[in-house]
Amino acid sequence: MIGTAQHWEKIHATKGDEVSWYQPTSTESARLIRACGLVPGASVLDVGAGASVLVDELLEAGYRPTLLEIAEAAFVRVKDRLGARAAEVRFILGDITETELPEAAYDLWHDRAVFHFLTEPGQREAYVRALKRALKPGGFVVLAGFALDGPTTCSGLPVCRYDAQGLAEQLGEGFELVESSRELHATPSGATQSFQYTRFRRL
Ligand SMILES: C[S@@+](CC[C@H](N)C(=O)[O-])C[C@H]1O[C@@H](n2cnc3c(N)ncnc32)[C@H](O)[C@@H]1O
């Protein structure tokens, strides 16, 4: 069976912007990040960043982005696109459930469509441990994935679907659900996918 990293390397190397989750701008993520009111220079981690343009928008807003990603092929595409600006970004290649992140390092943790792939309780526990280690007290979490009426698979892999309350339960105590919203994402092939977005503040 093909491993997780190989699966994603192949997707990023062969599909480019034709992946179902592609967005020309990050719309709802960007809105929720703006709502956090971070100061310029704030440290933002995008987990499972892929080749998303969110990093371009974070740089534009004056934040310090770190991207964590399991597939190097995604980083190749981001670095190509950013050119010299790539020097302002930190890149961490690894699996979020296995990577030891620096302690209390980030003002904001962003994840669009990565947590939903964690179908095993042990993977989700490792993810939340990493989040609790790396996010500063008072920091924010913007977490998004397929909603309860969203697809049951993504990129050929099974996913867990959540509403806002379900995501709050996954994070557990110590996080305040500040707001939640839904987005109907139009894929490049013309399908529609229902996403649940949430914004939390760490207490
Ligand atoms: C559905 S895509 C979303 C990409 C990006 N967040 C966006 O919204 O455009 C999921 C991304 O997470 C990465 N990924 C999947 N599992 C991962 C894991 N366990 N750790 C880190 N990255 C992972 C994949 O390579 C892919 O880039």
Q: Please give the Cα distance from 112 to 188 (Å, whole number).
A: 17
Which tokens belong to 195?
Answer: 């996403």
pLDDT of 1 higher than 60? no
The Cα 144–Cα 161 span in angstroms is 10
- Give the pLDDT mean for 171-194: 96
Q: Whose CA is nearest to atom 10 of ligand 1?
A: 114
Ligand 1 geometric centre to CA of 173 (Å): 25
Gap between the Cα atoms of 124 and 111, Å rounded: 13
pLDDT for residue 2:
65
**What is the bridge-based pairing of β-strands 157-158 and 153-154?**
antiparallel
Sign of CA dihedral 132, 135, 136, 139: negative
Average pLDDT over residues 105-112: 98
Check pLDDT > 70 for residue 31.
yes
- Domains in the chain, number: 1
* Tens-place pLDDT, residues 83-101: 999 999 999 999 999 999 9
CATH number at 39 reads: 3.40.50.150
Report the separation in Å between the CA atom of 187 and the middle of ligand 1, taken as the mean of its atom positions.
16
Average pLDDT, rounded, for the chain: 96
Distances (CA, A) of 173 to 7, 104, 170, 176: 33, 17, 9, 8
Percent of the chain with pLDDT over 90: 96
Which pLDDT tens digit goes with each residue over 41-83? 999 999 999 999 999 999 999 999 999 999 999 999 999 999 9
pLDDT tens figures, 11-30: 999 998 889 999 999 999 99
Domain that holds residue 141: 4-202
Residues at CB less than 6 angstroms from ligand 1? 4, 8, 21, 48-50, 52, 68-71, 74, 95-97, 112-114, 117, 154-155
Say how far apart CA 160 and CA 146 lie, in whole Å.
Answer: 8
- What confidence tier does 3 reach under pLDDT thresholds 50, 70, 90? confident
Best of 19, 25, 68, 69 for a ligand 1 pocket test (most atoms within 8 Å of beta carbon): 69
CA of 162 to the centre of ligand 1 (A): 17
Rounded to whole angstroms, how far apart are CA atoms 19 and 1?
22
Q: In this structure, are residues 20 and 154 in contact, taking their beta carbons and an 8 Å threshold? A: yes
Q: How many A from CA of 68 to the centre of ligand 1?
A: 9
Q: Are 89 and 66 in contact (CB under 8 A)?
A: yes
Q: How far is the CA of 91 from the centre of ligand 1 (A)?
A: 14
